[in-house]
Amino acid sequence: MRAAYFRGDGVIDIVDVPTPTPGEGQLLIKVAANGVCGSDRKILQGGFNLIPGHEVAGTVVEAGPGCQTRPGTRIAAYIPIHCGECPFCLQGKGNLCPNMKGLLGWATDGGYAEYMLVPDRCALPLEDGISFAEGVVLLDTIGTSGHALRLSRCWDAESVLVIGAGPVGIGAVAGLKAFGVPNVYVTELSAYRRERVAELGGIPIDPTTENVEERIRAQHPYGVDIVVEAVGTLPTIWQSMDLVTRGGIVNIVGEYWGKVELERPKGTWMINDMTLIRSFYFTIPEFHENQRMVLDGKLNAKGLATHTFPLEEIKAAYDLFDTGNSLKILVEP
Ligand SMILES: [Zn+2]
Ligand SMILES: [Zn+2]
């Protein structure tokens, strides 16, 4: 089968490798689409010795012994390699499994290949009427942001600021509108993405030409009810704490592994009854709830997948992603 390898310094090789054989509890899927993700850009520079790709949808072509999912089933892949038996897994919260054996596409070969092995319990069946493109968007883009929004009980909010309209941020905008939040402000550098924000009913702000704090405080003197931080940098995390109202919620969903000093010069952390949430990925029941919202026409998943490239042109997909002139880009092996 054809598969992509990230060699480092932005070099991608497409090579022929043996198609894997599913073992006990494993499914072999024919990959239909794999989403381009900001978190893969680091390994694109640093290099990676496995096949990358962790936003995968495809069709089961072979099931190893002991699998429940049957060949022919269309699935998306839930990446936490969870145990299925702990108290968290029993509630469908595989993202919190303390026995997790890493993530698909990070600890195992991923979906930038024609075929991929997926543990049976990581198979999320797609309902009729959900396309593969929607299946991919329902993972990191809508799944991760939707989990953050549910943890923040966003339906109670009157105003929300989303910092960054990359795939997760734009997923948050779609989710906030689906949950009926009236004022959704979005700071984003890319003009292309600001236009998509406006199409979804959000209020775009260009932080290079507008003072974000003045713009927010003109309408919300004490700050917004919720800030969704979808960039993953210290300055934007601190900006979140500055712009949330007293008693409000800051949800950090952007990928950030560094330390965060909580006390700001304005003293917001100590005195403002702020709720700080650090959310990670999503639960399996939430995935099915999100599928239902797409099928009911409440959530626009299809519109969030903007571009498609064949596997042979995966480098061009990452180059486009770097320009900011895209939302979710799909690579189709
Ligand atoms: Zn991702
Ligand atoms: Zn578990």
Domain that holds residue 176: 145-278
CA of 186 to the centre of ligand 2 (A): 35
Please tell me the pTM assigned to this model. Answer: 0.95
The amino acid present at 198, given as its one-letter code, is A
Specify whether the CB–CB gap between 32 and 40 falls below 8 A. no
Reference 73, options 124, 8, 117, 26; nearest CA is: 124
Q: Which one of the ligands is nearest to 38 CA?
A: 1
Residue with tokens 């049976």: 120
**What is the gyration radius of the CA atoms in the chain, in angstroms?**
20
CA of 101 to the centre of ligand 2 (A): 10
Q: Which one of the ligands is nearest to 90 CA?
A: 2
284 part of a folded domain: no
Same domain for 187 and 274: yes
Same domain for 158 and 263: yes
Same domain for 176 and 154: yes
CA of 266 to the centre of ligand 1 (A): 34
Q: Give, as one character, the DSSP assignment of residue 103.
A: B
- With 0-12 / 13-18 / 19 or more C-beta atoms within 10 angstroms meaning exposed / middle / buried, residue 30 is middle
156 part of a folded domain: yes
Residue that finishes a domain, picked among 278, 293, 312: 278
CATH code: domain of residue 245: 3.40.50.720
Instruction: Report the distance separating Cα 212 and Cα 238, nearest Å.
Output: 13
Same domain for 164 and 73: no
Domain count, the chain: 2
Specify whether the CB–CB gap between 52 and 40 falls below 8 A. yes
Same domain for 109 and 16: yes
CA of 88 to the centre of ligand 1 (A): 22
Q: Which helix (H) or strand (E) holds 199?
A: helix 191-199
Ordered per-residue pLDDT tens for the chain, 333 residues: 999 999 999 999 999 999 999 999 999 999 999 999 988 988 999 999 999 999 999 999 999 999 999 999 999 999 999 999 999 999 999 999 999 999 999 999 999 999 999 999 999 999 999 999 999 999 999 999 999 999 999 999 999 999 999 999 999 999 999 999 999 999 999 999 999 999 999 999 999 999 999 999 999 999 999 999 999 999 999 999 999 999 999 999 999 999 988 877 666 677 788 999 999 999 999 999 999 999 999 999 989 999 999 999 999 999 999 999 999 999 999
